[in-house]
Amino acid sequence: MPRKTENVGPRPPTVGVVGLGYMGLASAAAFARHGVSVTGYDVLPERRATVRSGSSPFHEEGLGELVRSEIQSGRLRVADTLAELADQSTIIFLCLPTPPLPTGRIDLRPIRAGAEELGRALARVNGFRLVVIKSTVVPGTAQTVNAPVVAKASGKGPAQVAVASNPEFLAEGRMVADALRPDRIVVGVSDPRSEQLLRSLYAAFDAPLIVVTPAGAEMTKYAANSFLALKISFANEVSRFSERVGVDIDDVVRGFGSDPRIGEQFLKAGPGFGGSCFSKDVRAFVRAAKDQGVRLRLSEQVVAANDEQTRHAAELIRGELPRGRGAKVAFLGLAFKEGTDDLRESRALPIVREIAGEGVAVRAHDPVALPKFRDWLSKEPAGLQARVSTWATTAEALTGADAAVLQAPWPEYLAWPKAWTARMRQPVIVDLRRAFPTARAHAAGIRLVRLGDGTSMRPAALSTPPTRSPGQNAPRSAGN
């Protein structure tokens, strides 16, 4: 039974969402839950059919249930054409991909094409329409790229069509919570009418509304992601130092993160950040600044520091394996983090490439990401494919392993029964997320080596610096 909304006052404007990917679908369903009439559209017919049936095409906690509820309520529906969406929606969000280019810039072709197609649909529509860019784009894109494209394709002026910016701040694994209960809403507008419409739309959301210019909103998104990536990379660098001197990074973070000027969020060390945003956004932020004659020197180092942490994670794994060929590793968790099936920029991929490339047999498992991992593996060289196998259960992946690598701490891994330990050749877990309970490890009879925790390292590991040069055996992937 759909939850009743508590909307009061005037009805919010109708909404269209173009692009039903992770962010677009979560946003559309959240608007619907807040009492807004939402029409979604995606260029992929199979995705439209999946959403129309009340299902989510992605694994994201709570998203399937939210979509099902809002489809059944009638507040969320799916159109088969942009013309249909444009006719029924006052505010139209463009939630289209902005993939990275080799130069570091973002590829604006998808969002430019979407804006042009939407503009053609708007040419046949009567009444005012507000087009809102929710995709992550560099400062100035909404006004210098999208607004002219929409105006030219629609043949309409600013009195009939306006363009605004409203970046999303959704984290995979908790997208539903973030979309339903955002901690802040940033909108970039150029005219009072657009601001009024967006204020009306977001009136039902219990979050502060920050109104800036379109370029200011676009800058805000890049600054936020770049700063968060910087915090992660700083914690990772301190974690490597902590290992060397026999200190636990978690103790250090509790100490300096308790300073209210710093805070503990995003100071959790790991094998490096991943996902669809951080690496791409940092590179684009740096590139866009260079195009304007500005050097973002701190941000320039973030991706390099992230790659170094990933190489360090592979070094930790290597240190727990027997010498010579024939070593086997159970690799647990392939998505970039638990709670999602998204492999984009997952640190699992370069780590698997590196250790399998050295002759280690990798036995891979993930509760939800195996199909996407198999697709990724099918495009890798035959030699790598021969050394990497996928397994339907954790127990199968652990059979004969010299070490288990915890890359994404799914709950089933943390529940580790003692029978799993008996399947391994050597009872050791290399915990890249420092998430495995030490009491559980003791009860299961398994040795726990935690990234960033020098207290869990062998004495030799604390006294002998690695002999590899920084670039040796580096993963081929340049992402995070």
Place of tokens 């288990």: 404
Are 44 and 57 spatial neighbours (Cβ–Cβ below 8 Å)? no
CA dihedral of residues 146, 151, 153, 155 (deg, nearest 10): 180
The active-site residue out of 20, 277, 430, 474 is: 277
What's the CA gap between 17 and 78, in Å, rounded? 9
Other CB atoms within 10 A of residue 463 CB: 10
Provide CB contacts within 8 A for 86, sequence distance 6+.
16, 92, 118, 121, 122, 124, 125, 129
Q: Give dist(CA 40, CA 80) in Å, integer.
A: 9
CA atoms in the 13 A half-sphere facing the CB of 178: 17
Query: Residue ranges per domain, the chain?
Result: 15-212, 278-463
Please tell me if the domain spanning 15-212 has the same topology as the one spanning 278-463: yes
Q: How far apart are CA 368 and CA 63, in angstroms?
A: 15
> How far are the Cα atoms of 3, 86, 317, 368 from residue 420, in angstroms, in the given order?
42, 55, 19, 20
Q: State the burial class of residue 356 (Cβ atoms within 10 Å of its Cβ: 0-12, 13-18, 19+).
A: buried
Q: Is 277 a catalytic residue?
A: yes
3-class secondary structure per residue, 92-148: EEECCCCCECCCCCECCHHHHHHHHHHHHHHCCCCCCEEEEECCCCCCCHHHHHHHH
What is the CATH T-level fold of the domain 15-212, as seen in this structure? Rossmann fold (3.40.50)
- Reference 218, options 89, 114, 119, 106; nearest CA is 106
Q: How confident is the prediction along the chain (480 residues), in pLDDT tens digits per residue?
A: 334 444 444 678 999 999 999 999 999 999 999 999 999 999 999 999 999 999 999 999 999 999 999 999 999 999 999 999 999 999 999 999 999 999 999 999 999 999 999 999 999 999 999 999 999 999 999 999 999 999 999 999 999 999 999 999 999 889 999 999 999 999 999 999 999 999 999 999 999 999 999 999 999 999 999 999 999 999 999 999 999 999 999 999 999 999 999 999 999 999 999 988 899 999 999 999 999 999 999 999 999 999 999 999 999 999 999 987 789 999 999 999 999 999 999 999 999 999 999 999 999 999 999 999 999 999 999 999 999 999 999 999 999 999 999 999 999 999 999 999 999 999 999 999 999 999 999 999 999 999 999 998 765 455 445 444 333 333 333 333
Q: Which CATH architecture has domain 278-463?
A: 3-Layer(aba) Sandwich (3.40)
Give helix 278-291 / helix 214-245 axis angle, nearest 10°: 120
Confidence (pTM): 0.88
Contact assessment for residue 313 and residue 432, using Cβ atoms and an 8 Å cutoff: yes
